[in-house]
Amino acid sequence: MSSNWNNNNPYQALFEQLARRFSERSGSGGFGSFGKRFQSRSSGRSKKRPLALIVFYVIIAVCLYYYIALPVINLHSRGFWKFLIFISIVLLVWRLTKRIQEPGNQVEGDAPKRESGFRGLVRSFQGSEKIFFSLAMILIIIYVAGALLSSPIFNASRYQKLLKVENGEFSEDITQISYNQIPLLDKASAEILGARKMGSLVDLASQFEVTSEYTQINYKNRPVRVTPLCYASLIKWFTNYRQGIPAYISIDMATKKTELIRLPEGMKYSPYEHFNRNLYRHLRFHYPTAIFDDISFEVDEKGVPYWICSIKKFNIGLFGGQTIGEVVLCNAIDGKLTKYKIDKAPSWIDRAYSAEMLVRLYNYYGTLKHGFLNSILGQRDCLTTTNGYNYLALNDDVWVYTGVTSITSDQSNVGFVLMNQRTMETKYYEVEGSIEDSAMSSAEGKVQNLGYRATFPLLLNIDSQPTYFMALKDASGLVKKYAMVNVQDSQLVATGDTVSETEKAYRKLIVTSGTSTGNSSGASGTQNVTGTVRKIAQGVVEGTTHYYLVLEGSDVIYDVNLSEHLDAILIDQGDTVTIEYTDGPDSMPVISFKKEAAKE
């Protein structure tokens, strides 16, 4: 029945015709082409989606890199050029790797071999590969040429003139300072005192530690080292960051007095913070192009803590002739930033120029007088600094002191320099004598039975005589004695348990040796007085008996060491005496005295 229906169906021919037309459309267009267009659109979206993800990830990676590494965006930064070179090389390698992985680029069978070596690799570059390679080579050439053309090799005279040096008069410029202005401790000794102070503070010792800053400043005309606390660990930061760092330590370098200065509000910005409160990140976000030099911790005259952030200035070419052009003051409590030109910076700042930069600038000045080749070969008139430096507080500023010797490094100085850490002002003093190392050895030889080690000396003016002053420390780093060594004659060495005793013994040496000029001017000069004894008192200092005399019409106390002046026991109240003495902080140490004969 079905067979007959199919044979006799009048629509059979129509159905066959429609089927044939649909088949034709499916092959050349129609629904078939629609399917192909749908597939191509789907594959296009699938290709675009990974590309968008790659761009997104690259942006995230760049942001994270900037947040963590904090690169400076400045053409004078060597690191910035190295980063650009690195990125161009990475892009080149990525493009080469991608091309090698593409089908048809692998070497198979009897395919012709490419030229080997670097030249062959370069010749095989295509399209963007050539662009990335050219970019890398251009950056490398600029970097190398910039470094070379900025160096002293081609700019010796410009480097030599970076630092202006004036000649000074020692006895006039360096006055005889009083005992309370002489820094008796070095940084290592200050660190010991700071650690002891921190260990005694039960409420803070478990949460905070003392940092190693210990910046020397001139605070209210006294030599002081200051250093902040920091969080003991990351966990301690999480538990204390809301309050911030509560205090800093101050050490008087003359009296050794160590204080913990508690702040009414904690310090929220420091190198020891994390995230946006980290000092370096805080500075970089506000000054993305600034190239910062060393950052130091200071306090102003009111005791408010600041971070002093000096910005480098490049005076020669792309990378050369570094000095300081500006300085940023960051309030350690609230993070407020204030930028000044270096010549407009507040006068209470003591450290805009690091000691290392000043020493480097003076070495340029001393070695490049007759060009770069002379500094290497002939070395005529070449002077260089000695292998150390110290700090001296003068005129409410901190000056870097270092000796100057010939470049052949013999055991004598031709002079010394003082360099202002705030203004870069530099003065040279032509004073021939032994170098600091020789003076330190002389002082250590004086107490060789005790095994004490000398600190790097300070330069003092004792009765118009350039004098090295240094502390003598035991194996644990504690100061046990002091020493004074004459710069021009290192055989004149005096030691003592106190500065007063050391100076008194030193003055005797220079008087007996005929070195003293007899100049009694200045705060610490030798002076004479004649008067009637109004009062006598006796005391024992470190096992030695001392007589203390007061003359009529004066309240000055004169200190007579009985072990040195035994005939002082013959003095009675009402006697007339002539006393030679030196100034001291509390009493006047007596060098010599004479009892006048009673008048009949």
pLDDT per position as a tens digit, 268-278:
999 999 999 99
Same structural domain, 143 and 186: no
Please check whether residue 166 lies inside any domain of the structure: no
| CB 245 within 8 Å of CB 264 | no
CA distance 7 to 15: 13
CA distance 115 to 266: 67
Computed over every residue of the chain, the mean pLDDT equals: 85
Does residue 95 have a pLDDT over 70? yes
Q: How many domains does the chain have?
A: 4
Same structural domain, 137 and 205: no
Q: Which of 599, 549, 583, 542 is nearest to 569 (CA)?
A: 549
| CB 404 within 8 Å of CB 413 | yes
Which H/E stretch holds residue 375? helix 372-376
Please check whether residue 22 lies inside any domain of the structure: no
- Provide the pLDDT for residue 314: 97
What's the pLDDT band for 372 if we cut at 50, 70, 90?
Answer: very high
Instruction: Kindly report the backbone phi and psi dihedral angles of residue 23, in degrees, each rounded to the nearest multiple of 5, phi listed first.
Output: -65, -40
Same structural domain, 190 and 323: yes
Higher pLDDT, 215 or 543: 215
Q: What is the separation, in whole angstroms, between the first and last Cα of the chain?
A: 176
Same structural domain, 325 and 220: yes
Same structural domain, 268 and 144: no
Same structural domain, 124 and 231: no
Same structural domain, 73 and 126: yes
Helices 128-149 & 78-101, crossing angle to 10 degrees? 160
Higher pLDDT, 519 or 184: 184
Most confident of 55-64, 345-354, 504-513, 576-585: 345-354
Estimate the share of the chain in helix, then strand, then coil, as percent rounded to the nearest 5: 35, 30, 35
What's the pLDDT band for 426 if we cut at 50, 70, 90?
Answer: very high
The token pair at 48 is 């675009």
Q: Which of 529, 463, 407 is nearest to 175 (CA)?
A: 463
What residues have CB less than 8 Å from 94, skipping those under 6 apart? none
pTM of the model as a whole: 0.79
SS3 state at 416: strand
Q: What value does the mean pLDDT take over residues 476-492?
A: 91
| CB 548 within 8 Å of CB 559 | yes
Q: What value does the mean pLDDT take over residues 347-373?
A: 96
CA distance 233 to 240: 10
Q: What value does the mean pLDDT take over residues 438-457?
A: 93
| CB 262 within 8 Å of CB 208 | no
Does residue 26 have a pLDDT over 80? no
Q: Which domain holds residue 90?
A: 44-100+119-148
Please check whether residue 449 lies inside any domain of the structure: yes
What's the pLDDT band for 584 if we cut at 50, 70, 90?
Answer: low
Q: What value does the mean pLDDT take over residues 388-404?
A: 90
Q: Which of 388, 397, 6 is nearest to 223 (CA)?
A: 397
> In the 3-class helix/strand/coil scheme, how is 19-86 assigned residue by residue?
HHHHHHHHHHCHHHHHHHHHHHHHHHHHHHHHHHHHHHHHHHHHHHHHHHHCCCCCCCCHHHHHHHHH
**Which of 93-97, 115-119, 379-383 shows the lowest per-residue confidence on average (mean pLDDT)?**
115-119
| CB 80 within 8 Å of CB 72 | yes
Does residue 58 have a pLDDT over 90? no
Does residue 108 have a pLDDT over 70? no
Which H/E stretch holds residue 526? strand 526-541
Strands (E) across 193-349 are located at 208-210, 215-219, 222-231, 245-252, 258-267, 292-299, 305-316, 320-331, 337-341
Q: What value does the mean pLDDT take over residues 376-385?
A: 92
Higher pLDDT, 109 or 592: 592
Same structural domain, 188 and 142: no
Q: Which residue type, as a one-letter code, is found at position 71?
A: P
Please check whether residue 171 lies inside any domain of the structure: no
Does residue 30 have a pLDDT over 90? no
Please check whether residue 252 lies inside any domain of the structure: yes
Look at residues 317, 352, 387 and tell me which one is the last residue of a structural domain: 352
Handedness of CA 12, 14, 19, 20 (dihedral sign): positive
- Provide the pLDDT for residue 179: 67
CA distance 284 to 72: 7
> In the 3-class helix/strand/coil scheme, how is 534-587 assigned residue by residue?
EEEEEEEECCEEEEEEEECCCCCEEEEECCCCHHHHHCCCCCEEEEEEECCCCC
Same structural domain, 488 and 544: no
Same structural domain, 216 and 69: no
Q: Which residue type, as a one-letter code, is found at position 583?
A: D
Torsion of CA 88, 94, 96, 98, to 10 degrees: -150
Same structural domain, 191 and 227: yes
Higher pLDDT, 516 or 349: 349
Please check whether residue 367 lies inside any domain of the structure: no
- Half-sphere exposure in the Cβ direction for 486 (13 Å, CA): 20
Torsion of CA 124, 129, 135, 137, to 10 degrees: -30
| CB 470 within 8 Å of CB 462 | no
Please check whether residue 307 lies inside any domain of the structure: yes
SS3 state at 220: coil
| CB 333 within 8 Å of CB 268 | yes
What residues have CB less than 8 Å from 450, skipping those under 6 apart? 472, 474, 480, 481
The token pair at 194 is 């700071």
Same structural domain, 508 and 531: no
Q: What is the CA radius of gyration of the chain?
A: 39
| 380: number of Cβ within 10 Å | 11
Look at residues 465, 489, 512 and tell me which one is the last residue of a structural domain: 512
Please check whether residue 265 lies inside any domain of the structure: yes
Helices 30-69 & 12-28, crossing angle to 10 degrees? 30
SS3 state at 513: coil
What residues have CB less than 8 Å from 545, skipping those under 6 apart? 538, 539, 562, 563
Look at residues 306, 332, 352 and tell me which one is the last residue of a structural domain: 352
